[in-house]
Amino acid sequence: MPFKNEEFDVVFSFGVIGYTNNFLKAFKEKVRVLKCNGFLGIWVYPQKKGITGVVFNAVRKIYTRESKLIPNLIANITVLFLPLLPTRSKVTLFNSSWKQCLEIVKVNLFPPRLYFFTEKEIENLFLDNNIKIVYKDKNNPITMWGIKK
């Protein structure tokens, strides 16, 4: 990032580092630009488990390996089933446009790189980078705040 070391009092990442080429480097950059005693917030999607995880990973393989025609067709069909899918956003055709629903589907299924974390992985990132965890939000996907020591 084009910022000086320890330039910010607060740095946060809301569902972004899992899409980066190197999530460890992205995390370390956030720590680098954070002032001592500054707050770091991370919100990431957890790994999908059970049948949901198996289906999600299988569909992602189709999306990322096929030509654009088939994934786009499947994405448009998936929009119709959003009310039945376990999405956190709750975006469906009942409350959003087709274009908005399609964007939700594509952002979760099309990226060639998309990493889902465990809570322990995020805890370790904090601890390994000298960030003291001060808050964990148990009502949302993996959400942690910490203070840089």
pTM of the predicted structure, to 2 decimals: 0.79
CB 146 within 8 A of CB 126: yes
Domain borders along the chain are: 8-46+116-148, 51-109
The alpha carbon torsion through 136, 142, 145, 149 (nearest 10 deg) reads: 100
21, 47, 55, 73, 118 from 43: Cα distances, Å: 17, 13, 23, 30, 12
User: 36: which 2 tokens?
Assistant: 């001592």
Class of domain 8-46+116-148: alpha beta
Place of tokens 């465990």: 118
**Phi, psi for 107 (deg, rounded to 5):** -65, -25
Written as tens digits, the pLDDT of the chain (149 aa) is: 899 999 999 999 998 999 999 999 999 999 999 999 999 999 998 887 888 788 888 888 877 776 777 888 888 998 998 888 767 778 888 999 999 999 888 888 888 788 889 999 999 999 999 999 999 998 888 999 999 99
At 66 the pLDDT is 66
